[in-house]
Amino acid sequence: MDKKIPRHVSIIMDGNGRWAQERGKERVYGHANGVESVRACVEAAAEEGVEYLSLFAFSEENWNRPESEVSTLMGLMVKSIANEAEALMKQGVRVMFLGNRSRLSDPVNSAIDGLMEASKDNKTLTLIIFISYSGKWDILEAAKKLAREIAADPSKLDSLDDMDIASFDKYFVTAGIPDPDFMIRTSGEMRISNYMLWQLAYTEILSVPTLWPDFRKPEFRAALAEYAKRDRRYGKVK
């Protein structure tokens, strides 16, 4: 029997700070080691035939963390892009960054733009990094885009009642990307933390106790095995 592989896997990468504190280190030590887990999961996703892997790297709420931690995280982002770019290109990974990028610094945006442009034609796997993102922000921005569209062409108001859910999808930052089939949250937390509130409507969710820096290929494959046991009904009776 063929394995049931989700087309789009998404991960809330949680537990870096606790992992570091358990080892008597600063929180940033956990973030640095979490990069290794990103690399492992990208490789495993490509090897297993996953088409889209999305990672919640930095939320809009994370801007409220201590300035020193935010600065370190942003520096780590730029460093990681530089360090991983060659390997990602060799693996055929297309990289996308989604979120409120107006809050990011010029060096971060420049690094992001460079990797997105270089990898745009890659086909093996699409890696989506959500940075400075929140689900509520995404919904609000989608509503604003629709409002501006109607303001520019009031005749579109006449067909507004005919708009369906699929038609509204195009206003989100995830336009053109299939909704996640499977979402994993590490560290055992049981919440989605304002992440893809619209897109996760029928996503299968798994919370695992493993802290993110310890979540590597075996853990990723074990999660996929759990997904394979699920019976997705989308509200229907089978």
Could you give the angle at the alpha carbon of 98 between the alpha carbons of 226 and 235, nearest 5°?
A: 40
Catalytic entry in 2, 16, 33, 62:
62
Closest CA to 48 of 178, 233, 223: 223
Distance (Å, rounded) from C-alpha 221 to C-alpha 140?
35
Torsion sign, CA atoms 216, 217, 219, 224: positive
Q: Would you give the DSSP letter of residue 185?
A: E
Cα within 13 Å of Cα(9), Cβ side:
28
Q: Is 75 helix (H, G, I), strand (E, B) or coil?
A: helix
Distance (Å, rounded) from C-alpha 4 to C-alpha 68?
43
Is residue 14 part of the annotated active site? The answer reads yes
Catalytic entry in 14, 138, 179, 181:
14
Is residue 231 part of the annotated active site? The answer reads no
Helices 27-48 & 217-228 angle (0-180, nearest 10): 50
Distance (Å, rounded) from C-alpha 148 to C-alpha 144?
6
Tell me the catalytic residues.
Answer: 14, 62
